[in-house]
Amino acid sequence: METFIANVPSPVGPFGVEGTAEAITAIYLPNQRHRASTGTPPRAVARAAKQLEEYFKGTRRDFDVSLALVDATDFQHDVWDALTAIPYGEVRTYGDVAVSVDRPHASRAVGNANHANPWPVVVPCHRVVSSTGIGGYGGGDEVKRFLLDLEGVHY
């Protein structure tokens, strides 16, 4: 299956949307190496790129895109499902997410599952913070702060 990558500009650098006509396989953060494809993006990529642009403009709060099936553990899938339940403009701690997936002592594992999330922003791992501060983010603190500020989150 050949994938297509479309770049989406943001104030912190370009995000990449990778996928096929049917689904999104990955979202690349500005600090992750990705090369945009040439030509017309397939339907699912174009839809996700448009929705990311709207999100960065502040006119979109929720995403309606098809995500590709990925090889991951049941725990990772449970965490990613829990992330999609965190409303725009709100945050949860790693501990909160661990409790929500019935693994109350798995805060660190939640962080690892967040880091493995193939669709950042769309599956909002940036909305998970530490109990003592902003916490980590694969895209770096600047990108996480940008996303939280965009959503009006006070952390």
Whether residue 80 is found in the same domain as residue 145 = yes
Q: Are residues 34 and 86 in the same domain?
A: no
Residue 155 lies in a domain: no
Paired with 129 in beta bridges are: 93
User: How much of the chain exceeds pLDDT 90, in percent?
Assistant: 95
Is 133 found in the same domain as 78? yes
Residues 3-58 have pLDDT tens digits of: 999 999 999 999 999 999 999 999 999 999 889 999 999 999 999 999 999 999 99
Q: Per the domain annotation, does 68 fall within a domain?
A: no
Find the domain containing 45 and state its range: 4-57
List, for residues 77-102, the tens digit of each pLDDT value: 999 999 999 999 999 999 999 999 99
- As annotated, the active-site residues are 125
- If asked whether residues 83 and 137 sit together in one domain, one would say yes
DSSP codes joined into one string, 58-103:
T---S---PBPP----HHHHHHHHHHHTSPTT--EEHHHHHHHTT-
pTM recorded for the entire structure: 0.94
Mark whether 81 and 145 lie in a shared domain. Answer: yes
Residues 49 and 114 in one domain: no
